Every structure is written in C-alpha cells, then in structure tokens.
Amino acid sequence: MFPVSLSISIIKIGRITGLTFVVLLLSFFIVGFAEAQEAGVSITPATIEETLDPGVSNDYKLTVENLDNNPQKFYLFTRNISGVKEGGVPIFAKDDLEKTGYELSDWITLSAAEIDIPGHGKAGVSYTINVPENASPGSHFGGVFISVDPPKMESSGAAVGYQVANIISIRVSGEAIEKASIRQFSTSKYLYGSQNVEFSVRIENAGNVLVRPAGPLEVFNMLGNEVGTIQFNEGRAGVFPNDTREFSDIKWEGDSVGFGRYEAVLSASYGDSGAKKTMSSTVTFWILPMNIIGPALGILAFILLVAFVVVRLYIRRSLAHLNQGRRMVRSRKKGSSATLLVVVVMLTVTALFLIVLLALFA
C-alpha cells in the first residue's frame, strides 16, 4: 500500500493529467471548428443575364476560388431553377420534377466536371450555352454548381458539404408575353399607434419572361396630402414566369405623430424600356396614437362630466325660484330644455376636441 502522501500525489497527478487531456481535447475541437469555418468556395460572376436567338451558341467563363487553407477537389454540375424563395434565394429544381418549359441546364456544356484548386487558389472554368432551334421564347433559368461532393452523392441525399452556384438567366428571342399583376397589397395590421407601417406585396407573373416590378409607394393622410414616399423593389428583384413572389419587410416611417385614416398607393412598372407596363393597388389603414388620445379622452370625459353637473345645478336653481303652483307645468318644459341643453353642450365639446386633434396630428 502506498503511503498517504504518495496517494495524494498520485491523485493530484491524475487530476492534472485529466485536466490537461480535457484542455487538449477542447483545443483540438476548437482548432478543427476554426479550420472548418475557413472552408468554402466562391464563384464569379454570380449571375449572368443575356438575350440569345434560337440556334445560337455562346461561350462563358467563371472563376472558382478555394477559400480554404488546404487544397480541395471541386465538382461541377448544372441544375434548373424553378423559382425563388423569400429574400431572393433561388429554388433549384430536382431532376424528377415535371418540365415547365423554362429549363436551361440541358443547354449547358461544361469544359470540366471536376477541378483541383490549391489553398486560397483560383481556377477558371469555361462552359457553352447552346440554344436549340425550337427553344420556346421567353426566359430560361439554370445554374452551374460548385460542390465538394460528387453530383451522384448529392442527388442521393448522402452528401454533407456546401455548394455555391452561378445563376444564369437566358432570354430567348421571340414573342415575349409580359403580364404581371399585384395579387395582394396589405399592411401587417389595420391600426397603428405611430407612423411606422409595414407593407407586404405579392406579385404574380403570368407571362413567359422574367419581370422586375419597381416603382413608388406613396402614402396620403385623411386630408389627401402626400406625407411619404418609398421605393418598392429598389433592388430590382425578379419574378419568375408562371410564379408568384412575395415582397415583405417594406417599411414606411413618417416624420410626425400622425392621426386618422391613411391611404397607401403602390404603382409598379415592369417590362422593356419603351414598352413599360404599370400596375397599381391601394390599401387603407388607421393611425391612432393612444399615448396621446388616451389622456385626451380622459380630459374630454372630465370636461363633459363637469359640464353636465354645472348645467344640472343651474337648472335646479332656476326651478327653485318658481312658484309652487307653476312648478309641475314648467318642470316638464324645463326638463326637456335641460336635456336638450346637456346634449348640445356635449356635442359641442366633442366636436371641438376632434377638431383640435385633426389640426394637431393630421
């Protein structure tokens, strides 16, 4: 058996060793996490938009950069785009989905299916777009993908990695149908306490080309005066053919307190230069600053109560001077006169109160 002092020393050494192991283990994971955070790939240009004729071939080139410290093999493949999600994130179509007529991936021929890039290095990749003779007029969408996993693994759902894509929009010459409409224009709520209003817009594209609706969103107060203007879709986000896109997080902040009924008018235009089309929609909402109206209503109620009491006291004193014999006859006349007087006073005070509010906040 070890001496007591030796046992204590062994225990201390064991604790120190265990602590050192934990520290080393945490350091390993932290370093590994930091290295993983540095991993990535970028691609330029991020988007390509062009108009091509049927039967035409055109060559393009993109640059792939390895953002990792270590060399990496990247795989290239193409995919179609079926739409966009909120925030402009593209929705890439799966191979088993029904064709929409706006596909593009079959037209793209890549110069390489995989490339090796050293750490923080770059490599160029060329590809050709061959537009078929019978290509349907309008916009076609797709992308060139860069991934750290082979396309077969990616399609099977077994891949764990990251991807970036070069977004391509090719408009085929021919009869273009530009037809968009505002399906919904609304506010987040009907009643606001200040001039801080949020709008949302849903645009439907029933044509065969990509549209980028944009225009002014004007706000008018209850007197018909314009009190604010913001630009809708200033970033020129597009709406895909046969698709509906929602634009949210549209905010208007006024420079005053605000009071009463307001009206917002959205006028968005789209289409080629020289053939612009405009669509418009209107929504109404109310602004009632309760932090001001609440105390004001309390004051109004107090004034009406005081007016009612004063009028009643005045009538009673007037009736007290009447003769006993005439009191019954005149009490009826005075009673109706008293009620009418109270109503007139209350209506007058209420009207003055509303006029003051309108003058201050509208």
- At 194-215, the pLDDT tens digits run 899 999 999 999 988 889 899 9
**43, 115 contact by CB (below 8 A):** no
- Take residue 153 and report the two structure tokens written for it: 């693994």
Tell me the mean pLDDT in the region 317-337.
56
**95, 158 contact by CB (below 8 A):** no
Could you tell me which residue, 107 or 174, shows the higher pLDDT?
Answer: 107
pLDDT at 186 over 50: yes
Cα separation, 142 vs 129, whole angstroms: 11
Strand, helix or coil at 214? strand
Tell me the mean pLDDT in the region 96-108.
75
- At 2-61, the pLDDT tens digits run 343 333 333 333 443 343 333 332 333 333 333 333 448 888 998 888 999 999 999 999
Beta-bridged to residue 202, according to DSSP, are 184, 246
Q: Quickly list H helices, 141-249.
A: 151-156
Longest dimension (CA), the chain: 125
In this structure, which amino acid lies at residue 164? V
pTM: 0.60
- At 116-157, the pLDDT tens digits run 999 999 999 999 999 999 888 888 888 888 888 887 644 433
In this structure, which amino acid lies at residue 239? V
Q: How many C-beta atoms surround the C-beta of residue 65 within 10 A?
A: 15
Q: CB neighbours of 158 closer than 8 A, spacing ≥ 6? A: none
Cα separation, 76 vs 64, whole angstroms: 10
Q: How many C-beta atoms surround the C-beta of residue 240 within 10 A?
A: 22
Beta-bridged to residue 74, according to DSSP, are 115
Q: Quickly list H helices, the chain.
A: 4-38, 151-156, 290-320, 327-361
**44, 27 contact by CB (below 8 A):** no
Q: CB neighbours of 170 closer than 8 A, spacing ≥ 6? A: 49, 50, 51, 52, 104, 107, 129, 131, 139, 140, 141
Could you tell me which residue, 111 or 176, shows the higher pLDDT?
Answer: 111
Terminal CA-to-CA distance of the chain, rounded, Å?
Answer: 93
How high is the pLDDT of residue 87? 57
Across the chain, what does the average pLDDT equal? 76
- At 227-271, the pLDDT tens digits run 999 999 988 888 888 889 999 889 999 888 788 899 999 999 998
Output the CA torsion sign for 208, 214, 220, 225. Answer: negative
Helices and strands: H and E segment counts in the chain? 4, 18
**287, 262 contact by CB (below 8 A):** yes
How high is the pLDDT of residue 250? 93
pLDDT at 334 over 60: no
Could you tell me which residue, 192 or 5, shows the higher pLDDT?
Answer: 192
Q: How many CA atoms lie within 13 A of 191 on its CB side?
A: 3
Q: What is the DSSP letter of 105?
A: G
